Amino acid sequence: MAAKKTSKKTVAKEETVAVKAPAKTVAATKAAPAKKAPAKAAATSAKTKYTAEQVYSMIEQAAYFAALNDGFSKDPGTYWSQAEKEINAMVNG
C-alpha cells in the first residue's frame, strides 16, 4: 500500500466581532393580546348534521363490528338493534 502525502493547510484564525443588538423599543416589549378561546357552549351547540344514508351506514358498520367481536354468536337483529340505539344516541345527542 502506497502512503498518500497529505498537505498541511494552515487554518486562519477566525476573528470574533461583537455585534451589539439593537435597542428595544417600548412597542416591541409589549406582549400581543392573547387570543380568546371559543366558548364551550358555542362549540357544543353546533351539531353535525348527518344524512339518513350516513346514519344507516354507521349503524350497519357498528352492528357488523359488534358481531365480529362477539364471534357472530347472536341473532343479527340483536346486533342491529343495539347498534341502532348507540348511533341514534350519538347523533341525536
> What is the C-alpha separation between 20 and 91, in angstroms, rounded?
62
Q: What is the CA angle 73-78-83, rounded to 5?
A: 110
CB 91 within 8 A of CB 55: yes
pLDDT score, position 22: 63
User: Does residue 81 carry a pLDDT above 70?
Assistant: yes
User: Does residue 71 carry a pLDDT above 70?
Assistant: yes
| Burial of 79 per CB tally in 10 Å (0-12, 13-18, 19+) | buried
pTM for the whole thing? 0.51
> What is the C-alpha separation between 88 and 56, in angstroms, rounded?
10
